[in-house]
Structure 1
Amino acid sequence: MINKVQILSVTPIGNLDAYIRLANLWPMLSLEEEKALTKRLRYDTDLDAAKILILSHLRFVIHIARHYSGYGLLQADLIQEGNIGLMKAVRRFNPEIGVRLVSFAVHWIKAEIHEYVLRNWRIVKVATTKSQRKLFFNLRKTKKRLGWFNQEEIDIVARELGVSSEDVKEMECRMSAQDVTLNPVPEEDIIDGKNHRIVPYLQDKTSNFSYGIEQDNWEQYATSKLSHALLRLDERSRNIIHARWLDENKKNTLQNIAKDYGISAERVRQLEKNAMKKLKIAIEN
């Protein structure tokens, strides 16, 4: 007789109905069975026990995933993400805490599904902070019942969720907005001879081309001035400036340079100081 673990492992991923039927065939564990398996996993690292715990709780993942069917995402993907949460819960579960595994796993299953929904519901993320995520999921449930909010309903939702009314308004606008393609529209979609693309109308008001060109010109000018100023120094002073400031490694110390020229470190410091003064005068003139 084929083991249920083997059946589930060979079931085609695309056949969701068959997967759900097989997941529901796996018997639920009694409290004693669950405790024994979780102790085997926690204290003996028994992977077979982990497999049984996961398979016997797949039906709960399917049940939770069905509550997120209104986001336009594939049910199979939601279940898959929930299964990841279930596996994390099984790995972290402590059989000594006195609760059933399913009660502990609900948080992990929902957390993984929430992350997946937020990553894939829209191209542009609608919620990034913890408070925004809480508002996103709770607001969507409330909107199914009430539709668009009036000011009184906004204030009630804000109070219940512990956020400001402005946060509720902003999230409602984000959820109601639609993604717009930046790609050119097909010829058949051209209206009145005009190509209604969004790309030509996008503006980056923070960009300043003149400032960038000015910066480039200034850097070129400053580099040129520095090069000419260095040529006015004697060879020893020029080498000291290069070694101390312009070489890539910049690891040359006064002592190392002093050894190369057979002079004291203090003399090298004086030459460096004088050379810097000459460079400053040459660049400013």
Structure 2
Amino acid sequence: MPRKRLTPSGGTVNPPPPLNGHSLIDGEDGASEIAGPDADSEAEPAERRPELAAGESEIGNTLQTYLREIRRAPLLTPQEEFETATRARQGDFDARQAMIERNLRLVVSIAKNYLGRGLPMPDLIEEGNLGLMHAIGKFEPERGFRFSTYASWWIRQSIERAIMHQARLVRLPVHVVRELNQVLKARRALESQMPSGAEGERQVRVEDVAAALGRPVQEVAELLQFAEQPTSLDAPIDRHPADGNSETVLDSVADDGASDPMSLTLSNEVERLLEHGLDELNDREREVLAGRYGLRDREPETLEVLAERLGLTRERIRQIQQEALIKLKRRMLRHGIDRDSVF
């Protein structure tokens, strides 16, 4: 049976409902973990999603229930926070639980700034809760700071590390994730100030974000590229095809290294005509062209090498080459092939 948890005022608060089938467990020794099955579906706040499928709707309802539950726990006053944090630091388990439950709303307010980064809202909240519990173990109330100010850093760090490790196929360094968060935050702020476009979307230019941050446009553009989510090559192009057989992204991606059948056929035809053209030349012309252009599996040779090997002058070799090319050009032109496409 789940136990009731005492609050500083002496009342009791039920533990918040699990997210995505997870439950937040905090042990007597202060160790914390997330228990429950892995979540395969993503959920977003209601205002950000048009229509959810049956499974997604269930997750969304669970999230809404969780948000309603945590709003029932009143926030701690500065005096209550100091007393509760002091008892928690001394090892009082109920005080520690009260610090967690009274600050869950802080986690949600921070987690919503990371939507669209690859992790669903329930996962962002779970990771933020881990950061919250870590902050409680480090917090020193006697220093005079409010806990929310201190805990915010730990919550953001926990969420950012989760995004870095779990949300991307290619891992990003922590400092890049932090800079990307700044850029996305600036873009969201600009979007909120702009009127909706024709399709209800607010279009913010990269130049506007760069100007707001005082950073180079190219640098901001490169950071925004990291926010794009990769698409699987096996993803269907049409999720609801009429014939039931949808092409995948892989089917529509061109292979730049593949040979074009038409080009390959033309190349084979040119080689055939070239071989016949060489056979029509005399032995000396054929030898000069084969040596100069590396034909018939030979290595290309310079005019000097050919002149020495054939016992002719360099100028005579050049003349033979030109005469042979003219003969080949005429033959190629009769078949509609320009000599420049061959040599």
> Normalised by the shorter chain, which TM-score bucket?
0.5 to 0.7
Give the secondary-structure state (helix, strand or coil) at the position aligned to 2:142: coil
Aligned residues: 190
Q: Over aligned residues, Cα RMSD in angstroms?
A: 3.5
| Counterpart check, 1:29 vs 2:76 | yes
* Amino acid of the structure 2 residue aligned with 1:30: T
Residue 162 of structure 2 corresponds to: 116
Paired amino acid for 1:111:
Q
> Is 1:181 matched up with 2:252?
no
Shift in CA distance, 79/129, structure 1 to aligned 2, threshold 3 Å? closer
- Provide structure 2 residue ranges, at least 5 long, that are not aligned to the other structure: 7-11, 21-61, 191-202, 238-244, 258-343
Q: Name the CA shift for 1:141/1:89 in 2 (closer, same or farther; >3 Å).
A: same
**Is 1:158–1:165's contact at 8 Å kept on the other side of the alignment?**
no
Max radius of gyration: which structure? 2
**Shift in CA distance, 49/182, structure 1 to aligned 2, threshold 3 Å:** same
Out of 176, 186, 190, the position equivalent to 1:142 is 186
Q: Kindly provide the CA deviation profile for residues 66-85 of structure 1, in whole angstroms up to 9, marking residues without a partner as x.
A: 33334463221111111111
Q: In structure 2, which of residues 220, 225, 228 is the aligned counterpart of residue 168 of structure 1?
A: 220
Please state if 1:102 is matched with 2:160. Answer: no
- Map of 1:268 onto structure 2: none
Q: Call closer, same or farther: CA 1:142–1:59 in 2, change over 3 Å.
A: closer
Q: Find the aligned partners of 1:133 and 1:196 in 2 and give their Cα distance.
A: 32
SS of the residue 2:230 aligns to: coil
- Contact 1:93 1:101 (8 Å CA) reproduced: yes
Residue 66 of structure 2 is aligned to residue 19 of structure 1 = yes
3-state DSSP class of the match of 2:211?
Answer: helix
Quote the Cα distance in structure 2 between the aligned partners of 1:139 and 1:24.
30
The corresponding residue for 2:173 is: 128
Q: Is the CA contact (8 Å cut-off) linking 1:8 and 1:23 kept in structure 2?
A: no
- Give the letter for the 1:33 counterpart: E
Q: Deviations over 1:111-170 (max 9, x none)?
A: 212222334444234x3141x2232112113334262323xx47635635xxx6543232
Secondary structure of 1:172's partner?
helix
The answer to whether structure 1 residue 195 and structure 2 residue 195 are counterparts is no
In 2, the alpha carbon distance for the partners of 1:23 and 1:189 equals 45
Instruction: Give, in whole Å, the separation in 2 of the partners of 1:40 and 1:184.
Output: 53
1:86 aligns with 2:129: no
Letter in 2 for 1:136: L
- TM-score normalized with structure 1 length: 0.55
- Whichever structure has more helix as a proportion of its residues is 1
- Please tell me the residue identity of whatever aligns with 1:100: R
Note the residue ranges of structure 1 that are not aligned, 5 or more in a row. 203-285
